[in-house]
Amino acid sequence: MTLDTGTTAWLLASAALVMLMVPGVGFFYGGLVRRKNFISMVALSFIVLALVSLQWVLFGYSLSFGGDVGGFIGNLDFLGLAGIGMEAGDAGYPPLLFVVYQGMFAAITMAIVTSGFAERVKLSAFIIFALLWTTLVYDPLAHWAWGGGWASALGSLDFAGGTVVHISSGFAALAVAMVIGKRSGFGQYSLEPHNIPMTLLGAALLWFGWFGFNAGSALAANGLAANAFLVTNTSAAAGALAWLAASWYRGKPSSLGMISGAIAGLVAITPAAGYVNVGASIVIGAIAGLICYGAMLFRLKKGLDESLDAWAVHGMGGLWGAFATGIFATIAINGYSGLLEGNVSQFFANAAGALAAVIYAFAVTLILAVLVDKTLGLRVSEDEEYVGLDISQHGERV
């Protein structure tokens, strides 16, 4: 097949859109922490972007998309991107473009996990952890779903990474938070967000970038990409209004709640974007807003300091999205039927793929976090935490 210029142009743009989501996460999280940790929070995302970008071209891509080894991981055929060229392959775009596009997904996934480290992580230990995590958690999960691993063989559908990106990062953040422990003062006095508009701006970058994330995952500039684009926006809108309404019922309708609902809607539509129609996306987004809001309340009630709610929004939103894909997939969009069209096995395949990812991501993250904590120490000292990570880790002030 010759190179399709339309598709290639769209994928180039999509890769750039997803890149912007990585600092987007940083600014979203940065507004939510106290002022003394703002730089740290944004810096973690940029460090992840740099670190994972290198890991990806050296061996990460090969572990994810190399020849299948036991359904679990890719082999090392593409080490250092050996044999990956500029000539369009069967797909109509250069394989090198697929490498960079997928690399951005790996980066944003690790960036989401930083929620569990917020305001207390030691930078040196974080860098080691991030390298281990993206290699031992992200790369296998990407292989399971997209690289020819067992989940794709089972027929579990994950269009743009609801399981690979969101379930994995959300449940990893939960495991990290349990190992690293609560922030000093958590539950005793209020640890208020220092800059809500910054968080809203971060969310704007995420919402914008998500079009590259989901519509780009069609891997073509075609009708399927257009459908993914539309359902992505619709689900975000429904999620925003659902969370807004739920929090209004309990008190003030906060902008932060509204935008968290939008992210919840975006997360939940991610695995479904290429399989469901616009009607289903309204339901998926609205329910995502409510589920994630409930998960956040549950997290607070349990006194868990998974500080910036990656678990509630990405973990639980991703889980709902995986189930929703198995429920609402319609043959008219992409040739797959879900539960509503009588295809029970699709629902169970998706449930199996999602639950396996929950268990794998949580368990392996727990082991890695304990390992790094015992050897290097994940956490800064009490004094360093008190003066803030901006000064103690970076020697800078906002």
Partner 1 sequence: MKMIKAIIRPERLDFVKKKLEDQGINGMTVMQVEGRGDQKGISLQYRGGAIQVDLIPKVQVEIVVRDSVTETVIQAIQEGAKTGKFGDGRIFILPVERSIKVRTGEEERDS
Residues engaged in binding partner 1 (CB under 8 A): 36, 185, 189-190, 381, 383-384, 386-387, 391-392, 395
Task: Name the minimum Å distance from CB 36 to partner 1.
Answer: 8
Kindly state the smallest distance separating residue 385's Cβ from partner 1, in Å: 11
CB-based contacts of 40: which residues, under 8 Å, 6+ apart?
33, 119, 123, 388, 389, 390, 393, 394
Helix ranges restricted to H, 163-313: 168-180, 196-214, 223-250, 255-269, 278-301, 310
Q: Which is nearer to partner 1, 109 or 393 (CB)?
A: 393
- Report the nearest approach of partner 1 to the CB of residue 381 (Å): 8
Torsion of CA 165, 167, 170, 173, to 10 degrees: -90
Q: Which C-beta is closer to partner 1: that of 197 or that of 395?
A: 395
Whose Cβ is closer to partner 1: residue 36's or residue 299's?
36
Query: DSSP H helical segments within 33-122, as ranges?
Result: 38-55, 61-65, 95-113
Q: What angle do CA 194, 173, 217 make, to 5 degrees?
A: 100
Give the Cα-Cα-Cα angle 52, 305, 168 (nearest 5 degrees). Answer: 35
Q: Is 181 helix (H, G, I), strand (E, B) or coil?
A: coil
The smaller minimum CB distance to partner 1, of residues 77 and 192, is found at 192
Neighbours of 377 (CB within 10 A): 13
Closest CB 391 distance from partner 1, rounded Å: 6
Residue 199 · residue 256 · CB < 8 Å: yes
CA 263 to chain centre: 10
For the bound state, the minimum distance from the C-beta of residue 35 to partner 1, rounded and expressed in Å, comes to 9
Q: Which is nearer to partner 1, 156 or 195 (CB)?
A: 195
- Residue 125 CB, nearest approach to partner 1 (Å): 14
Q: Please say which residue, 345 or 381, places its beta carbon nearer to partner 1.
A: 381
Q: Two tokens at 88?
A: 């369009």
